[in-house]
Structure 1
Amino acid sequence: MLFLLASWFSAACAYELLPAHVAVVYNGKSELSRRMAREYARVRGVPEGNLVSLDCPMTSEISRKEYEDTIRVPLLETARKQRWWVPSGIASSPLMNRKIFVLVLMADLPMKIRHETPAPLPGKGVNQMQTDRAAVDSELALLAVGGYERKSWQVNPYFNKREDFVGSGLPSFLVCRLDGLTPDTCMRLVTEPANVEKKGLWGWAVVDRGGPYAQGDRWLDDVFERVREAGIPAYLDDWPQTLPEKFPLSRDTALYCGWYAGKANGPFSDPSFRFRPGAIAMHLHSFSAADFKVPGRGWSSALLEKGAAVTVGNVYEPFLGACHRFDIFVDRLLDGYTVAEASWMSMPVLSWQGVVFGDPLYRPYARMKDMDVEPTEEDRYFQG
């Protein structure tokens, strides 16, 4: 009987996403990038051999050739040398044939691949549905896949699943990024999530619906219902405008989902506002990460500078149906999945414009789900 129980427990834990499954990729030209990689490996217990240095431009946007020569090809060479997967079949037997499932990118790595083909017709702009431009991160999700067409998106086979990625048998990678406007923010993203998840992410959920399309509002309605179902105190704003400038947003805000403004406004432009440590904060907008390194431009970096530990963004126009689905993301996090798994379950497409910012191993709600936490004075109302 004990043998059967041990066998069952081993099978149940066999597909858990572990530090050994993560490759930490950094830019060898950047001291900050190197420091983040070493510290992330220390905090999460990632094997030293899983750290990968690239020699690539310290610019946000690069050409397709620069992506191939300085990012994709060197990573493929590292994968071959370290046998990240067996060439005979990455998807056939994932536990035997594959070692690395997640790529976490450090600061000062390029984020955008600019448009090159097809060339626009004379007098016309880029056809945003037929373009080879993409987020570096989204392109790297297909690192192990060759031969696909790079002039539009590819379907994400992990979209809307509810299963551990390690056991899924899928050939894609889960790609997350740790980056911010300042070194302090970058280092906080490295260290904070591991500490927060030990006691759980307690606090308010704030949902700001009222965007331009009914489809997006339905996603946010589903977020609101899901967090209420989970017992999280929630505030729903139903006005067409985003939250007003003087809105008294609680500093105990741990989850924020909203839309639709071009740049951070309302309480998020208040210099004194901070999210709860470890917070998940996302604003749906086509260009939320297009100018990530420019202060005051877009939502992704602005939310991280306000103390969020996890957000998402788009580097070019994605179109609504090819954005991260906040309802799926939040649902999977509440089910106890990692940020890497939940975020890529919520992304319908690959080789496109989406980026995930945050520790891929972060599981903010895993212990809360089973109340595997110690009661604390600061969280007593939320735990109650």
Structure 2
Amino acid sequence: MLFKIVLGMLLVPALFLAGEGSKVLVVVNENVKESVEVGVYYAKKRNIPEGNICRIKCSVTDGTDISNYKKQILEPVLKAARNGIQYIVMTYGTPYMLSINGANYSLDAFLCFPNENISSSISPAKSAGLGLSGYTGEPSQYYNKSFHFQGGGRNFLVTRLDGPTADIAKELVDRALYGEQFITTKYGKGVFDARGIKSGGYYPADQDIIEAGNIVKGKGYETLIDLNPGEVSDKSCPDTLWYFGWYSYNNYNDAFTWKVGAVGIHFDSASAIGIRGGQCWVSQALLRGITATGGAVSEPYADNYTRANLFFKYLLDGYNFAEACYLATPTAKWMMCFVGDPLYSPSFSEKKTDTNKPSIVNLEFQKNDNNPDKEAELFVTADKFVSVKIEYGKDKNDYSKSVKLEVKKIKHNLDLRELKPATNYFFRLTCVDSSGNVQIQEVEYKTAASVPPAIEYINVEKHSGEIILTWEKSSIEDLAGYKLFKMEMSEKSYGSPIELPVDSVSYTDKGLINEKTYAYCLRVVNKDGALSPKTEIYVALSELLPVTNLKAEQKSYGVKISWSAVPSRKVANYEIVRSLKVKSGYKKLRNTTETSLADINVKKGSTYYYKVITKDKNGAERGVSGPLEVKVDAK
């Protein structure tokens, strides 16, 4: 293979120019808007040509099967990966797990060394005596080769920009760019959480973690090498920059405050089982601000996991993140999935010290919709990654309450609780960037006046293309009116409110489309302009609706009930029921396909209540009209 020939020619480390965007293919899923946004953002930040963005249409789920993988992902990627492409970046919204014969594997691991003839009948690995039977991956051709990756043929290094949110995926490149500029041996610390194993099958992996710690320490970083059997304790590792440790299955040990640029991998069989959510290590580390990480999407077995010592040997010796990952991973087409900018090279570029204070570019208070007089949300946007602490009180000399967010982000939102209505508060905001630069800003905010109580209940009446809402009038003395918000359920947010006057107790919404669902939100407004909490209702406007124009006529033989037909072929018949009470006691008179019924069994001087029920061919009730009150003449 060309790949083997190229590797054989490069026997010593070569100078690698970080940030060579022309070597990167970015794969985005056009079925997910955020996937495209992440890919375009990354391409702009790394100067990747527009032609290097591969737009595919594939599953929006975390995993895909082998048939869809080949057709929707592998074929278009190989077509787009022209000569010179060495790295593939999968983005938020593309599958990261590949299902073959009931077992899950890392999709990215298969894409590294593509094989269009992957068999769907490979047997999942399982224990067999002292070893394993079935498929357990393939030996990696790039494992521990000690030179920079040059690609060739259909061989690539694959990482992904992904995580619990699209914004987190975008942040990964910004964090990497900051790390490339400002990481020095004094910038952050190494944490290596071994277990002090003396012998047995896990002994080599534990020794790798210890050796990795010594490599980092030898580079001049302050380093903790923990040999206790348990994990390092909660919140005990501030300013963590480099990490490798184990073991807590499908769980994140919240012991770390990550520096911007931090890289860490946790030795855990389910560490990447759900990178877009859940409790797995990779997902939670990304939520807390790690810059690059990796893990297993399913049981990898210890011998196949990325080796700690090799990973940090290469990462801190001029190799980029993608190279370090695959140089340290012995098995290809298996379980490991790596999340981060493949070009991230924290040890390559010339370093400088960041001495610039962060700037607060936006500071905005937003009242809580349900409790605008007692709760608020503070949105803070800085020009770099910062942690945020907000102190507040009713006096500048008494900041009695505080909220702190340790995760360094550009955009923060903080919930403020237990505020008092119509009260002026003083806030002191402290932002600290990853290099220790501090910015402090003070601001004032006044809460809303006391809010009116919400409407308790909204009644609904449905007709073809029409919804009628009714409610009891608000009893507050300073009532100024109502605001009614509406949206189709396919929309993401309510539109502009409909202003309703003080005496309103109903609203008729016309021109609607049958078979759609509509959401309504009604809020009371007082004379101070304060809004009540929301009263929401969701209305499914079925095609089969209650009959209209229900009326009664007294005849010589009794009572004639009539109505207008529902214009739908799905209507099978109408069922007419009658009672002497308005709310209960209804009994069936008969079913009919006509639009009228003669009731001859009535008594003079009695009052009857009628309902007409629309029925479909399955006998299901699809709409009720009534009750219609009829007083039979006594004569």
Distance change (3 Å), C-alpha of 1:28 and 1:211: farther
After TM superposition, the score normalised by the length of structure 1 is: 0.79
Give the counterpart of 1:207 among 192, 204, 209. Answer: 192
Q: 1:109 aligns with which of 85, 94, 115?
A: 94
Find the structure with the greater CA-based Rg: 2
User: Is residue 15–residue 164 contact of structure 1 (8 Å, CA) maintained in 2?
Assistant: no
- Counting only pairs closer than 5 Å after superposition, residues 69-80 of structure 1 correspond to structure 2 as 69-79=71-81
Structure that is richer in strand per residue: 2
Letter in 1 for 2:352: E
The within-5 A match list for 1:174-189 is 174-189=157-172
Whole-angstrom CA distance in 1 between matches of 2:340 and 2:264 = 11
What RMSD in Å do the two structures reach over aligned CA positions? 2.4
Please, which runs of 5 or more residues in structure 2 have no aligned partner?
1-12, 123-134, 356-433, 437-635
Distance 1:267 1:211 in 2: 21
| Cross-structure match for 1:374 | 352
Paired residues in the alignment total 326
Say if 2:147 is the partner of 1:163. yes
Aligned to 1:87: none
Distance change >3 Å, CA 265–CA 16, structure 1 → 2: closer
8 Å contact kept, 1:209–1:217: yes
State which of 229, 245, 263 in structure 2 corresponds to 1:280: 263
| Equivalent position SS for 2:257 | coil
Q: Which one-letter code corresponds to 1:164 in the other structure?
A: H
Q: Deviations over 1:56-99 (max 9, x none)?
A: 010012111111111112222334xxxx1xxxxxxxxxxxxx31
Asked if structure 1 preserves the Cα contact closer than 8 Å seen for 2:250 and 2:270, the reply is no
Corresponding position of 1:120: none
Q: Which residue of structure 1 aligns with residue 305 of structure 2?
A: 323
1:266, CA displacement in angstroms? 3.9
Letter in 1 for 2:148: D
CA distance in 1, matches of 2:252, 2:58: 34
Conserved? CA contact 1:107–1:180, under 8 Å: yes
SS at match of 2:192: strand
- Stretch of structure 1 that moved more, 226-235 or 14-23: 14-23
User: Against the structure 1 CA distance between its residues 55 and 225, is the aligned structure 2 distance closer, same or farther, given a 3 Å change threshold?
Assistant: same
- Using the alignment, how far apart are the partners of 1:258 and 1:210 within structure 2? 9
Aligned pairs for 1:2-17 (under 5 A) are none
Q: Which amino acid aligns with 2:106?
A: A
SS state of the match for residue 95, structure 2? coil
After TM superposition, the structure 1 stretch with the greater mean CA deviation from structure 2, 64-73 or 209-218, is 209-218
State the shift of 1:17 in Å. Answer: 7.0
SS class of match (1:176): strand
Q: Deviations over 1:109-134 (max 9, x none)?
A: 001112317xxxxxxxxxxxxx6x42
Q: Which residue of the partner structure matches residue 18 of structure 1?
A: 20
- What do residues 194-219 of structure 1 show as CA deviations (whole Å, max 9, x unaligned)? 22201225300001001772121111
Which one scores higher on RCO, CA 8 angstroms, separation ≥ 6?
A: 1
For residue 291 of structure 2, what is the aligned residue in structure 1?
Answer: 309
1:292 to 267, 270, 275: 275
Separation in structure 2 between the aligned mates of residue 379 and residue 31 of structure 1, nearest angstrom: 34
**Unaligned runs of at least 5 residues, structure 1:** 1-10, 85-97, 118-130
Could you list the structure 1 runs, at least 4 aligned residues long, displaced by more than 6 angstroms after superposition. 14-17
User: Equivalent of 2:217, from 224, 228, 245?
Assistant: 228
The CA distance in 2 between the partners of 1:206 and 1:51, in whole Å, is: 37
Partner of 2:320: 338
Kept in 1, the 8 Å contact 2:209–2:309? The answer is: yes
Question: Per the alignment, do residues 164 and 239 of structure 1 end up closer, same or farther by CA in structure 2, a change over 3 Å counting?
Answer: same
TM-score by length of 2: 0.49
Contact 1:200–1:366 (8 Å) recurs in 2: no
8 A contact 1:211–1:259 mirrored in 2: no
Answering whether residue 63 of structure 2 is matched by residue 61 of structure 1, we say yes
Q: Secondary structure at the match of 1:274?
A: strand
Tell me the amino acid that sits aligned with residue 112 of structure 1. Answer: M
The answer for the alignment partner of 1:123 in structure 2 is: none
C-alpha separation in 1, matches of 2:306 and 2:153: 19
CA distance in 2, matches of 1:316, 1:75: 25
Q: What are the Cα deviations for residues 172-227 of structure 1, in whole angstroms up to 9, with x where unaligned?
A: 21000111112331121132212220122530000100177212111101111101
Report the secondary structure of 2:258's partner residue.
Answer: coil
8 Å contact from structure 1 (residues 134, 316) kept in 2 = yes
